[in-house]
């Protein structure tokens, strides 16, 4: 419906109808206004399957939803590094939603993985905001191409489950912009989601639903978002301030309580009716978009066909972490299959994203009828305690086999929405099983089922590790095809696997202190931290092995010097040098020059997944714009590019740099820092243009304070001693604020103001 007609419709509504439109009619539906022909639309949980509930609604995955297809979770699809896959997933879910008359699917979930302990990490994409935002953007485009609205969540800085409805995420402006807002930014700007879900938590003391800076100034004014903001279910603390801040739709129903508050606020003048009208216009725009799409016809919900898609997607997501030669398995080998998850795989997480799967295909289902396969349970995931009988039977079977494959992972109770993990370990009975089997069988592989990294103190004792993540209902078929070499592993880690929990950047701060969560690690999240402090990790960001090999050659940039307004295209050739078709993920990182501002050693700024037949070579090109070189300047409240030579790195992972080239970047004059009386001289001297202005003044000061005199031999002999303090003197001068020129250089306050005017002009 045209916006002008929507405005006319809002003008016909009573105050009570307007207020009522701003909250749900029940748990999943918006309110209808029948007298004006305004329909209700249904929202449903996602984001990697349709969790439509007909009755007994809840937001925690307690009650069953309709039978649907469970696709790989966000932790898995992110490891595909494949925007086409995410777009196809969005399209498929859009068809399912249309068939079930769902107008908005609540997803994708795209909060940053600040710590491996977050209980909801299995839903989220990555520790890297660029990867998260690009994958989410593809998902949104696919979903909305079918006339179903997306709702990226949870906006923003919602990175732990403990006290999520009341705690305050305390973080500085630069950290917000470079990491936590950046995860949403590109997806919002480019994919144009119909809605955005604000998070439960407070941000620097203000509830996300009442954060006008985020919901209006950044989201709408700066990024151009033109949809509606919906609350997370129950996230509204005070409905009237919510509306003023830009939170349009409260879900679920408040039973009329908050509707009456809105009416009273308009009547007593504390809320402008124009603000309420704007919220109604945004809501109706989405309501009619969804209703018009449904009127065009139903989508196709073929559960069997979509199960096949889920299997194909799962193969693209799994990551071969280690392989010392035992994989792929060969037909006819005697293989001991050990572990409960080979029979009943853990393929999804718990909470609001839990799908009532139409079917689940296990590894044993997939290998049914193959000779040489025999199964032993090994452990019971209902308990962490070792069952000696199950353990002994598994060890004996492994000893008699050619190879052993252990299907291990985190039980359902270890990770879920609503609470965080206490540690990164597998259950002790599983760790013992792995070690005991590896003692008797050198060809032991571990297949993991988990939504977040786990510690692997047994890693040197096993031959191979396949990370399945939570790969959806067709997990078993994908595992079989990858383990037997019918498909080539091509997933890459979208997060770092640390050696120990204590190594993680947020280890000391991942806690609630007096209702506050302090993000003291700042921008040093994930590989940005590990690479900057040169800390060893178990498996780096971007890591993943293949059954073939790849060679990088011919890296070059289309220009060696650019201004910050120009883009640079970086190309690199990749060749499959093995004998099996495979896919490589080319990762492009940018390493900044030395600057007065602390920056991570390198940051991901582009990536591409390329499929190559044996001997085939292709050239990958990635375009880098201004943001690839910029950091957020808290003084300017804007992105700033620092002058210098930037290294462009082509890599197979964050720690596997294959080739590099350099680009000289020249910032625009408008990007200058605003200097003050308290700016250190060293900061000014680091800016070449500023130094051109300041150098003559400093030169005159030096001449005035050090008149030429002839030195005696005795004085010259003392020069060596004085040189000892020269470095200290230099450092003191570099750290001296500009105002100190009045005390040490005889410069008046008026002259300092003139210098500032010259520098800031």
pLDDT of residue 286: 98
Distances (CA, A) of 88 to 95, 140, 142, 356, 610: 11, 10, 6, 21, 17
pLDDT at position 435, please? 98
* Mean pLDDT confidence for 524-535: 98
Q: What is the pLDDT of residue 297?
A: 84
Question: Taking residues 109-114, what's their average pLDDT?
Answer: 98
Local confidence band at 733 (pLDDT 50, 70, 90 cut-offs): confident
CA atoms within 13 A on the CB side of 719: 7
pLDDT classification of 715: cutoffs 50, 70, 90? low
- The full 3-state SS of 376-440, as one line of letters, equals ECCCCCCCCCCCHHHHHHHHHHHHHCCEEEEEEECCHHHCECCECCCCCCCCHHHHHHHHHHHHH
Just list the catalytic residues.
232
SS (H, E, C) 177-204: HHHHCHHHHHHHHHHCCCEEEECCCEEC
Q: Give the torsion through C-alpha atoms of 65, 70, 71, 73, to 10 deg.
A: 70
Confidence category of residue 63, pLDDT binned at 50, 70, 90: low
CB 689: neighbour CB atoms within 10 A? 12
C-alpha span between 496 and 39 (Å, rounded)? 46
Q: What are the CA-CA distances from residue 368 to residues 157, 330, 365, 404, 486 (Å)?
A: 46, 15, 5, 17, 16
Which of 50-54, 101-105, 289-293, 756-760 comes out lowest in average pLDDT?
756-760
**Distances in whole angstroms, Cα of residue 387 to Cα of each of 392, 414, 429, 432:** 9, 19, 8, 11
> What is the C-alpha to C-alpha distance for residues 122 and 472, in angstroms, rounded to an integer?
12
pLDDT at residue 337, rounded to an integer: 98
DSSP state of 687: S
Confidence of residue 725 (pLDDT cuts 50, 70, 90): confident
User: Which residue pairs, CB below 8 angstroms and at least 24 apart, start in 86-89?
Assistant: 86/135, 86/136, 86/138, 86/139, 86/142, 87/138, 87/139, 87/141, 87/142, 88/142, 88/309, 88/313, 89/48, 89/139, 89/142, 89/313
Question: Is residue 219 predicted with pLDDT exceeding 70?
Answer: yes
Round to whole Å and give the CA distance between 432 and 77: 30
682: left (phi over 0), alpha (psi -120 to 50) or beta: alpha
- Residue 320 and residue 107: Cα distance in Å, rounded? 28
Q: What are the percentages of helix, strand and coil residues in the chain, rounded to 5?
A: 35, 20, 45
Q: Give me the chain's average pLDDT, please.
A: 93
DSSP letters along 442-476, please? SSEEEEEE-SS----TTGGGSSEEEE--S--TTHH
pLDDT tens for 178-218 read 999 999 999 999 999 999 999 999 999 999 999 999 999 99
Q: Kindly report the number of other CB atoms within 10 A of residue 518's CB atom.
A: 16
Asked if pLDDT for residue 149 goes beyond 60, the answer is yes
Give the relative orientation of helices 83-99 and 129-144 as an angle to the nearest 10 degrees.
Answer: 40
Distance CA 585, CA 542 (A): 8
The torsion angles phi and psi of 546, rounded to 5 degrees, stand at: -140, 165
Output the CA torsion sign for 164, 167, 168, 171. negative
More confident position, 758 or 360: 360
**Window from 49-63, 107-121, 195-209, 713-727 with minimum mean pLDDT:** 713-727
Supply the pLDDT for residue 756: 84
Separation of alpha carbons 24 and 42, rounded Å: 10
Confidence of residue 388 (pLDDT cuts 50, 70, 90): very high
Confidence of residue 681 (pLDDT cuts 50, 70, 90): confident
Residues 6+ apart with CB under 8 A from 413: none
Tell me the pLDDT band of 704, cut-offs 50, 70 and 90.
low
**Pairing label, strands 319-323, 464-467:** antiparallel
Query: How far apart (Å, rounded) are the C-alpha atoms in residues 110 and 108?
Result: 6
pLDDT of residue 85: 98
pLDDT in tens, 649-671: 999 999 999 999 999 999 876 45
Strand partners of residue 557: 570
* Dist. CA 686–CA 667, nearest whole Å: 14
Q: Which pLDDT value is given to residue 686?
A: 72
Q: How confident is the model at residue 675, as a pLDDT? A: 85
Which SS3 state, helix, strand or coil, does residue 516 take? strand
What percent of the chain has a predicted confidence (pLDDT) above 90?
Answer: 84
The enclosing H or E element of 632 equals strand 630-633
**Is the previous residue joined to 725 through a cis bond, with omega within 30 degrees of 0?**
no
Q: Which residues pair with 644 in a beta bridge?
A: 665
The pLDDT of 276-292, averaged and rounded, is: 98
Q: Are strands 168-170 and 202-203 parallel, antiparallel or unpaired?
A: parallel
Residues in a beta bridge with 666: 563
Q: How far apart are CA 307 and CA 316, in angstroms?
A: 15
pLDDT for 724 equals 58
The residue that leads in pLDDT, 694 or 98, is 98
Average pLDDT over residues 126-135: 98
Q: What pLDDT is recorded for position 706? A: 53
Q: What is the mean pLDDT of residues 565-577?
A: 97
pLDDT one-digit tens code per residue, 332-344:
999 999 999 999 9
The pLDDT score that the predictor gives to residue 424 is 98
Partner residues linked to 30 by β-bridges: 24
Contacts of 690 (CB under 8 A, 6+ apart): 672, 675, 684, 759
Q: Which residue has the higher pLDDT, 647 or 688?
A: 647
With residue 589 as reference, give the H or E element that holds it.
strand 582-591
Whether a cis peptide bond, with omega within 30° of 0, leads into 142 is no
Q: What is the mean pLDDT of residues 530-547?
A: 98
Q: How far apart are CA 124 and CA 608, in angstroms?
A: 20
Instruction: Write out pLDDT tens, residues 9-61.
Output: 999 999 999 999 999 999 999 999 999 999 999 999 999 999 998 656 665 55
**Among 418, 388, 438, 392, CA closest to 165:** 418
pLDDT at 692: 75
Residue tagged 């120990």 (tokens)? 500
Q: Which of 562, 584, 540, 552 is nearest to 628 (CA)?
A: 562
Polymer length in residues for the chain: 761
State the maximum Cα–Cα separation within the chain, in Å, rounded to a whole number: 104
Select from 248, 296, 253 the least CA-distant residue to 103: 296
Neighbouring-strand partners of residue 604: 589
Q: Which residue from 278, 98, 291, 90 is spatially nearest to 193, judged by alpha carbons?
A: 90
**Would the pLDDT of 761 be above 90?**
no
Torsion angles phi and psi, residue 737, rounded to 5: -70, 155
Enter the tokens of residue 419.
């609470």
Bigger pLDDT: 386 or 717?
386
Task: Tell me: pLDDT of 496 over 90.
Answer: yes
pLDDT tens digit string along 438-473?
A: 999 999 999 999 999 999 999 999 999 999 999 999
Residue 266 has pLDDT above 80, yes or no: yes
Rounded average pLDDT over 423-431: 98
In 3D space, the residue among 468, 469, 458, 464 whose CA is nearest the CA of residue 499 turns out to be 458
Find the angle CA(536)-CA(539)-CA(542) to the nearest 5 degrees: 115
How high is the pLDDT of residue 4? 95
* pLDDT of 719 over the 60 cut: no
Give the Cα separation of 219 and 202 in Å (integer).
Answer: 17
Joined tokens for residue 139: 């998902």
């Amino acid at each position: 419906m045209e916006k002008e007609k929507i405005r006319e419709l809002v003008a016909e509504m009573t105050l009570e109808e307007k207020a009522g439109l701003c909250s749900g009619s029940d748990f999943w539906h918006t309110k209808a206004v029948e007298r004006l022909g305004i329909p209700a639309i249904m929202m449903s949980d996602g984001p990697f399957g349709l969790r439509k509930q007909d009755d007994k609604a809840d937001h925690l995955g307690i009650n069953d939803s309709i039978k649907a297809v469970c696709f790989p979770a966000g932790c898995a699809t992110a490891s595909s590094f494949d925007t086409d896959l995410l777009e196809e997933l969005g399209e498929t879910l859009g068809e399912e939603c249309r068939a079930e008359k769902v107008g908005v699917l609540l997803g994708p979930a795209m909060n940053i993985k600040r710590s491996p302990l977050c209980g909801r990490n299995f839903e989220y994409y990555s520790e890297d905001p660029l990867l998260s935002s690009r994958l989410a953007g593809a998902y949104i485009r696919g979903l909305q191409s079918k006339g179903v609205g997306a709702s990226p969540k949870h906006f923003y800085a919602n990175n732990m489950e403990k006290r999520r409805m009341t705690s305050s995420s305390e973080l500085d402006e630069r950290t917000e912009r470079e990491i936590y807002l950046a995860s949403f930014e590109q997806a919002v700007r480019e994919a144009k989601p119909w809605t955005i879900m604000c998070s439960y938590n407070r941000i620097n003391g203000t509830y996300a639903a009442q954060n006008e800076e985020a919901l209006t100034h950044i989201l709408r004014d700066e990024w151009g978002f033109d949809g509606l903001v919906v609350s997370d279910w129950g996230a509204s603390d005070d409905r009237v301030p919510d509306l003023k801040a830009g939170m349009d739709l409260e879900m679920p129903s408040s039973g009329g309580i908050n509707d009456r508050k809105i009416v009273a606020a308009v009547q007593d003048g504390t809320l402008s009716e124009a603000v309420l009208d704007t919220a109604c216009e945004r809501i109706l725009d989405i309501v009619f978009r969804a209703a018009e799409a449904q009127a065009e016809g139903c989508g196709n919900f073929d559960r069997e066909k979509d199960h096949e898609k889920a299997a194909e997607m799962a193969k693209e997501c799994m990551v071969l972490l280690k392989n010392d030669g035992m994989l792929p398995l060969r037909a006819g080998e005697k293989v001991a299959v050990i572990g409960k998850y080979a029979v009943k795989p853990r393929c999804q997480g718990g909470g609001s994203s839990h799908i009532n799967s139409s079917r689940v295909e296990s590894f044993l289902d997939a290998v049914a009828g193959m000779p040489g396969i025999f199964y032993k349970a090994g452990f019971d995931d209902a308990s962490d305690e070792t069952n000696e009988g199950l353990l002994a039977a598994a060890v004996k079977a492994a000893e008699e086999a050619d190879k052993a494959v252990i299907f291990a992972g985190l039980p359902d109770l270890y990770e879920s929405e609503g609470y965080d993990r206490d540690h990164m370990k597998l259950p002790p009975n599983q760790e013992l099983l792995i070690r005991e089997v590896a003692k008797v069988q050198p060809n032991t592989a571990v297949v993991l089922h988990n939504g977040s990294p786990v510690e692997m103190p047994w890693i040197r004792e096993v031959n191979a590790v396949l990370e399945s993540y939570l790969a959806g209902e067709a997990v078993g078929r994908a595992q079989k095809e990858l383990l037997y070499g019918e498909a080539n592993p091509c997933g890459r880690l979208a997060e770092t696997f640390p050696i120990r929990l204590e190594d993680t950047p947020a280890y000391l701060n991942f806690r609630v202190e007096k209702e506050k969560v302090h993000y003291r690690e700042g921008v040093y999240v994930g590989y940005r931290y590990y690479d900057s402090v040169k800390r060893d990790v178990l498996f780096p960001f971007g890591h993943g092995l293949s059954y073939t090999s790849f060679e990088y050659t011919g890296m070059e940039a289309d220009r060696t010097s650019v201004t910050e307004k120009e883009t640079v295209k970086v190309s690199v050739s990749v060749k499959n040098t093995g004998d099996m078709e495979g896919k490589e993920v080319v990762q492009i990182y940018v390493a900044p020059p030395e600057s007065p501002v602390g920056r991570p050693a390198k940051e991901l700024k582009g990536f591409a997944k390329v499929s190559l037949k044996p001997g085939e070579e292709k050239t990958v090109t990635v375009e880098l714009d201004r943001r690839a070189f910029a950091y957020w300047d808290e003084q300017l409240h804007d992105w700033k590019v620092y002058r210098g030579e930037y290294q462009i790195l082509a890599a197979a992972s964050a720690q596997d740099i294959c080739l590099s080239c350099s680009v000289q970047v020249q910032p625009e004059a408008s990007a200058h820092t605003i200097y003050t009386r308290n700016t250190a001289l060293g900061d000014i001297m680091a800016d070449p243009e500023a130094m051109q202005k300041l150098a003559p003044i400093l030169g005159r000061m030096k001449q005035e304070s050090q008149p030429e005199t002839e030195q005696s031999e005795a004085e010259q002999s003392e020069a060596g001693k004085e040189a000892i303090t020269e470095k200290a003197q230099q450092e003191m001068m570099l750290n001296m604020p500009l105002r100190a020129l009045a005390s040490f250089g005889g410069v008046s306050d008026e002259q300092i103001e003139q210098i500032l005017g010259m520098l800031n002009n």
